[in-house]
Amino acid sequence: MTLLRIRTYPDPVLRVRCEPVAAVDDEVRRLLDDMLETMYAAPGIGLAAPQVGVSRRLVVVDVSEDKNEPLQLVNPEIIWRSDECEVAEEGCLSLPEIYGEVQRARAVRLRYLDREGTLRELEAEGLLARCLQHELDHLDGVLFIDHLTPVRRNLLLRKYRKLQRGQRAKKTEPAGA
């Protein structure tokens, strides 16, 4: 398995609407496995293909404490969402170090293909439902900051740019100086 490079905002690949996967073959399975490994290493609880530069409808998720309940979803689609909503703080591997409160449906039902290409349904609530909605947004080029008020979004993005500038400065410091 290979660790993939995680793309960060404002990489334009994060804004592309992803294409459905035509066939679940070995290449797709390899990509799903690499995405899962990349997600665990980050560490994160979810990762969508555009976050590793691939504009295809693939998502991996694991919200379990022991990191032993991986989900690998091909062409996932939300087919039902609860009227009841919840607000909670979210972050994103593509927007490191910033967090914002996002309103999401409390529960969702999904239809997807598993890694064997079998059509499945999944009902989720709480953190898993939130994580799935966040990752599925990525497939349509939507980021969690898009759900915030413009004022809150601009505040967070200013903080983000400042943090990114700080990171770059650190990286270019001469070694051992």
Binding site for Ni ion (CB under 5 A): 92
Minimum Å distance from CB 137 to Ni ion? 8
Q: Which residue has the CB atom at the shortest distance from Ni ion?
A: 92
Task: Give whichever of 107 and 142 is closer to Ni ion, judged by the CB atom.
Answer: 142
**Using CA atoms, how far apart are residues 73 and 57, in angstroms rounded to an integer?**
8
Task: Give whichever of 44 and 105 is closer to Ni ion, judged by the CB atom.
Answer: 44
Is residue 97 part of the annotated active site? The answer reads no
Minimum Å distance from CB 78 to Ni ion? 16
Task: Give whichever of 12 and 174 is closer to Ni ion, judged by the CB atom.
Answer: 12
Q: From the candidates 69, 121, 135, 173, which is the catalytic residue?
A: 135
Handedness of CA 44, 59, 136, 63 (dihedral sign): negative
Minimum Å distance from CB 94 to Ni ion? 5
Note every long-range contact of 80-89, with CB atoms under 8 Å and residues 24 or more positions apart, other chains counting: 80/108, 80/109, 81/105, 81/107, 81/108, 81/109, 81/133, 82/106, 82/107, 82/108, 82/125, 86/126, 86/130, 88/130
Active site residues: 135
